Structure 1
Amino acid sequence: FRTQTLDSPAAKAAYGLEKEENGVLIIKVFEDSPADGILQENDVILKIDEFDIADDGTIQLTEDLLTDYKHAIDMHHIGESIDITYSRGGVEKTVDMKAKIPMANHSLVRGEQFDKAPEYYIYGGVLFVPLNMNLIKRWGNDWGRSAPVSLLQARNEWASPDRRELVVALQVLAADVNLGYHDWRNWVVEFVNDEPIRDFAHFADMLQSNAEENIVFENSNGYQMVINHQEALDSEQAVLSQYRIPSAYSTGLINRAD
């Protein structure tokens, strides 16, 4: 789960806390997590085991040491019980949860990766990549200001089993097959032929298995890029040769999609 601090007296009152009560507000419970089905959004976590949580999200670990409340969870071994005291609508409850192996990154934007080659797929001369922090940091040390807003905003979106990562049309390798789209770049694609994209492997599989005349790429605002499927296949080798690219997709991608 994810939380935010409760420094505001108005917010504390809105979620049923008394003035002297402290805690953190749950803003997201992730599917398939230990908290799924037990805790809910808008619950207020008051205590982890014997540690009371302050409004700023800290606990008094020792007489001289304040630390983030999540440390009280991290101190447990896998399978051990964690007592969580929370308030729901002003009613205080305590539940027992089991510590589990931490889940993967919950953001739609992958963290930086340095131990593998970048993934990509070129279709109709359009270079598609999964959105990750490696890509965002291409905009330099000031990437928080200089990277495209649509890519930065995605960092605040949560992943789910049906939507694990985003796909970006990074740039268009100009060719007849993509005429009309030569200046499109850094464009987040959400749908392929009206089907939501689950992750990059799913995206590659949709392109590989397509039986429609056209492939329509669409973003969340409804803007579309239409590529004729047969023209994309027929022009693939010419595009790769012109831009000196050895393969239409990264090594291992198609096997991963299968």
Structure 2
Amino acid sequence: MNFLELGDIPFLQEAVAVVGYPQGGDNISVTKGVVSRVEPTQYVHGATQLMAIQIDAAINPGNSGGPAIMGNKVAGVAFQNLSGAENIGYIIPVPVIKHFIAGIEESGKYMGFCSMGLSCQPTENVQLRNHFKMQPHMTGVLVSKINPLSDAYGVLKKDDIILEFDGVPIANDGTVPFRNRERITFDHLVSMKKPNETALVKVLRNGEEHAFTITLQPVSVVFTSMVKMSGDLQVKLQPLVPVHQFDKLPSYYIFAGLVFVPLTQPYLHEYGEDWYNTSPRRLCERALRELPKRAGEQLVILSQVLMDDINAGYERLAELQRLKRNCGGQVKKFNGIEIKNLKHLCQLVENCSRESLRIDLDDDRVVALNYESARIATSRILERHRIPSRMSIDLLSGQNSLLMDSAE
């Protein structure tokens, strides 16, 4: 058996052939096209923005994972197309493939691609550059937001101008030189770094130039769906609300028929294709724009109410979230303690020693329950709805001792 070697990034207008087994037949399929663009593109399945090659060869369901061949070498791997358009497909280029393989070989698992954790604004406007004291020969981008969990948070500041990344000048539109007279956004240089590798960043702060060394870390999920909507170059930040939940069972906690879950984008997608306009406005805005303030932070929401006498009158709380777009249903406090995540809420409820408990939601609504009556009702409700456990598996692991105590 002869193996194909990995090649280089094809140039614009070079011909490629996509090989695979797409829908519509059982035999192998080969479609040909030419390279239209080479630029960072949002990877739908990974919720990340990395270099991709756009081609005009048809890529259909079933093509994903198939090679794109240029001559006698592999130019990339087919992985997605542009919905609503004809013959616009994307392949993962060789540098991204090699970076992925190298990470697996070094650590034994997928670590992700690095990010600085920044949102940057172009400085193409002359008045904007003058305002931040940029000299005529200077080019760069304006730092508008920094992820509090990133290494850059303690080094860079809002309103810094990033002039260079590892000695490579950054243009006012955020691009850097790439091959022959081509340009690509500078975050491509960031994404090709290895985890824990450092980068030398040259910035302009209050009219003075500074050089900082920043340690780059991979992000489990890189959120970029607001790039075009916000007008920023890129939002390479780990989101407060996860974009995807691949290979992971949903987390939940049920108490007195109240079903609590962490907010995720798949949850918002349940509002339909037009989820951005039909889902609760508060939750949607926080999902798209807000950053975590601490590690492990989640937005916990009351998703539904399983009817019982114990929660009579509270069923409207979950309905308001669906009927009124300004109602979020986020759980803010339990007995006056701010909720960090679903596991924290679970621990507070399970360890509650008060006769009466209070849950505060973000729309100033309150849930009050007698703890002992609610605990008894929980078992009754779970049995009625044939639910085997009041909490998901990920929460059960941290509650083994509590469950054993309650069994005794």
Query: TM-score when scaled to structure 1?
Result: 0.89
Q: Which amino acid aligns with 2:216?
A: A
Deviation at 1:77, TM superposition (A): 2.7
2: CA distance, partners of 1:143 / 1:20: 45
Residue 311 of structure 2, aligned match among 169, 178, 187: 178
**Conserved 8 A contact 1:24-1:56:** yes
1: CA distance, partners of 2:292 / 2:399: 19
Corresponding residue for 2:378? Answer: 236
**Unmatched tracts of structure 2, length 5 or more:** 1-116, 223-237, 322-328, 401-408
Return closer, same or farther for 1:241/1:79 CA change in 2, 3 Å cut-off: closer
Residues 155-181 of structure 1: CA distance to partner in whole angstroms, max 9, x if unpaired?
Answer: 211102267110010011121211221
Correspondence 1:57 to 2:174:
yes
**Larger RCO (CA within 8 A; separation ≥ 6):** 1
2: CA distance, partners of 1:162 / 1:219: 22
Q: Residue 252 of structure 1 aligns to a residue in which SS?
A: helix
Residue 167 of structure 1, aligned match among 276, 286, 300: 300
Q: Residue 139 of structure 1 aligns to a residue in which SS?
A: coil
**Conserved 8 A contact 1:2-1:26:** yes
Corresponding residue for 1:4? Answer: 120
Residue 25 of structure 1, aligned match among 136, 139, 142: 142
Residue 193 of structure 2, aligned match among 56, 72, 76: 76
Correspondence 1:191 to 2:323:
no
Deviation at 1:29, TM superposition (A): 2.9
**Conserved 8 A contact 1:136-1:147:** yes
Corresponding residue for 1:206? Answer: 348
If you compute each CA radius of gyration, which structure gives the higher value, 1 or 2? 2
Correspondence 1:121 to 2:253:
yes
Q: Which amino acid aligns with 2:263?
A: L
**Conserved 8 A contact 1:82-1:96:** yes
Return closer, same or farther for 1:206/1:115 CA change in 2, 3 Å cut-off: same
Residues 15-61 of structure 1: CA distance to partner in whole angstroms, max 9, x if unpaired?
Answer: 33346643222233334522232111221212112322233322222
Q: Residue 112 of structure 1 aligns to a residue in which SS?
A: coil
2: CA distance, partners of 1:15 / 1:207: 51
**Conserved 8 A contact 1:23-1:54:** yes
Residue 43 of structure 1, aligned match among 137, 144, 160: 160
Correspondence 1:99 to 2:216:
yes
1: CA distance, partners of 2:340 / 2:219: 21
Which is further off, 189-198 or 6-15?
6-15
Query: TM-score when scaled to structure 2?
Result: 0.58
User: Identity rate of aligned residues, in percent?
Assistant: 26
**Conserved 8 A contact 2:244-2:266:** yes
**Unmatched tracts of structure 1, length 5 or more:** none
Deviation at 1:214, TM superposition (A): 2.5
Deviation at 1:111, TM superposition (A): 2.2
**Conserved 8 A contact 1:110-1:133:** yes
**Conserved 8 A contact 1:150-1:188:** no
Report the RMSD for the aligned CA atoms in angstroms.
Answer: 2.3
